[in-house]
Chain A
Amino acid sequence: MRLPLDWLGVAPFLIFALLFLILPTMNIVIGAFQNPAGEFTLKNVQGLFTPSIMAAYWISIRISLASAILGCIVGFAMAAAVVLGGLPNWVRSPLLTFSGVASNFAGVPLAFAFIATLGPIGLVTVFLRTQLGIDLRSLGFNLLSFWGLTLTYLFFQIPLMILIITPALDGLKREWREAASILGATGRQYWTMIALPILFPSLLGTLALLFANAFGAVATAIALTGSSLSIVPILLFAQIRGDVLGDPHLGYALAFGMIVVTGIANTIYIWLRARSERWLK
């Protein structure tokens, strides 16, 4: 009698998760493998392999990868500067607080901030044109493009990297560095042969998390580009709103493809984080 009663305590949570997280997702996954009559089919998934949908996936993956890699590099540099660079203590805490704010400042307002800064009449654009005579537009820069979107996504990617990697950098023991230098290692050797291999799972894992984070971002992209840039989340948004693909089940396949991509990225993340935690205790 004891066991079922114990399970009763988590029943509300499990029912909630089932109804509003697992079943809706399963519904989309199953829908991706069904035709309108409800029979099993692979046609929808095959339908993804048309040039226009593949192009949407490809540009989404490139933007997510570029913003994840750059976010990792810049975030790592800033976190390393604060943890290991010998900066005064008052830099660290405001930087971490700011990272908490900036990593949550995504979506529609973030797009507005970048339009007001790098848009056609934005602060930086106008400053460069009137004061330095540099016309960003004639140089080929456009906010509504691959690099424009990547630059905007970095505003929440870099802080997320700082928040995740700072504890990992704190976990690097001073003794390791001392032991290495006693054995005659140079600073470069310490980094390439000790610190980076230890941090490698955290770095690669965070890269995967940042990738999934950018890949699923809808609001920023829509507020920034309207529908002028055909990336997967925007395509799916338009499909849900008005069936632009002309086939509801192709929409399920599109959503299923998103789950597969972010699922792979996060599986890598979880696996690597479990590995890195063994070292940084």
Chain B
Amino acid sequence: MRKFWAWAAVIFGMLYFILPLLGMTEFSLKMRRGVYSFDAYAKVLADPRFQETFAYSVGMAIATIIFGVVLIVPTAYWVRLRLPGLRPYIEFITLLPLVIPAIVIVFGYIRLYNTSSFLPLTGSATGTNILLMFGYATLALPYMYRAVDTGLRTIDVGTLTEAAQSLGAGWITILARIILPNVLVAVMSGAFLTFAIVIGEFTLAALLNRPAFGPYMQLLGANRAYEPAALAVIAFAITWGCMALIQVVSRFAPRAPAQLH
């Protein structure tokens, strides 16, 4: 009897999840009257605006990942090595983006970094791009920090550092050649999640007026019928791909804390 209800709950739930996925897939294939075709996909992929905005968002995602890694890996490492007492406070800061809605944060950016401020980032396209990247790094902060910190937990940071120092390594060498390779799996999990978040992000890009993929999708959705469904399928495939890559790299993660004797 218990098994019956268990199956009922899972099947009922999965039905709810599968129907919209089925709906968008079916709809995306219906552009040509009467038969299924890939016309909507062909149209979307051939649209120069699609190519531009998609390339822009991929570029932003990569920039955000690089910036996030350079900012967070040394910080998480340093906190574990030298300032363990600070850890709860740093963790609290990294969780703030889950509390403060993104729309409020970007509202603050617009007010704080306008053309008449001390740091007029929104004055130029390059400046706004940088601001948007910082914004994405902020959105990804909770996931990135947690991933890196979990990765650092599995290695003996203190011993590795002392070993490297006694062989004459400087801080940059320790970070780049000892710490980063050891937490690479964790960093990559965080990176793929960041990619999934940034690629379709709408609010920040729209309010900072940047030609990103999210606002493009929204614009297309307001004006077309079948192409948005094709875009939704593509976006779902990207999200699925990122999660699959996280699963793949996690296979290579050390299972137990590495012991150094």
Interface residues of A (CB under 8 A from B): 6-7, 9-10, 12-13, 16-17, 19-28, 31, 74, 77-78, 80-82, 84-87, 91, 95, 97-98, 100-102, 104-105, 107-118, 122-124, 154-155, 158, 209, 212, 215-216, 218-219, 222-223, 226, 233, 236-237, 240-241, 251-252, 255, 258-259, 262-263, 266
Contacts and interface: CB of A to CB of B under 8 A. Distances in A.
B10 A95 contact: yes
B236 A87 contact: no
B50 interface: no
Given A107-B200, A112-B217, 9 more contacts: A10-B79, A16-B137, A28-B107, A80-B9, A87-B7, A104-B196, A108-B235, A117-B23, A252-B107
A158 B2 contact: no
Contact of B236 (A77, A84, A109, A115): A109
A86 to B, nearest CB: 5
A240 B107 contact: yes
Contact of B75 (A9, A114, A118, A215): A9
B24 A116 contact: yes
Given A107-B202, A108-B218, A113 B196 contact: no
A81 B26 CA distance: 30
A269 B202 CA distance: 27
B201 interface: yes
A20 B110 contact: no
Nearest to A219: B202
Contacts of A259: 99-101, 104
Given A108-B217, A109-B235, A13 B75 contact: yes
B249 interface: no
A182 B253 CA distance: 41
Contacts of A25: 100, 104-105, 108
Contacts of B138: 20-21
Contacts of A77: 9, 13
Interface string B193-225: 100110011110011000000100110011000
Contacts, number: 247
Contact of B24 (A78, A112, A219): A112
Interface residues of B, number: 80
A115 B104 CA distance: 27
Contact of A105 (B6, B110, B119, B239): B239
Contacts of A101: 236, 239-240, 243
A255 B2 CA distance: 47
Contacts of A97: 243-244, 247
B228 interface: yes
A225 B21 CA distance: 19
A258 B222 contact: no
Which of A101, A111, A212 has the largest count of B CB atoms less than 10 A from its CB?
A101
Dominant SS among interface residues on chain A: helix
A12 B26 contact: no
B28 interface: yes
B74 interface: yes
B97 A27 contact: no
30 contacts: A9-B78, A10-B75, A10-B78, A16-B71, A19-B134, A20-B135, A21-B100, A24-B105, A24-B111, A25-B100, A28-B107, A31-B111, A77-B9, A85-B5, A86-B3, A97-B244, A98-B17, A104-B242, A107-B214, A108-B217, A111-B221, A112-B217, A113-B232, A113-B236, A122-B27, A123-B19, A218-B202, A241-B207, A251-B107, A259-B99
B35 interface: no
A216 B101 contact: yes
B23 A116 contact: yes
A158 to B, nearest CB: 7
Contact of B243 (A86, A104, A108, A110): A104
A6 to B, nearest CB: 5
A237 B214 CA distance: 15
B20 interface: yes
Nearest to A187: B2
A85 B247 CA distance: 25
A101 B100 CA distance: 23
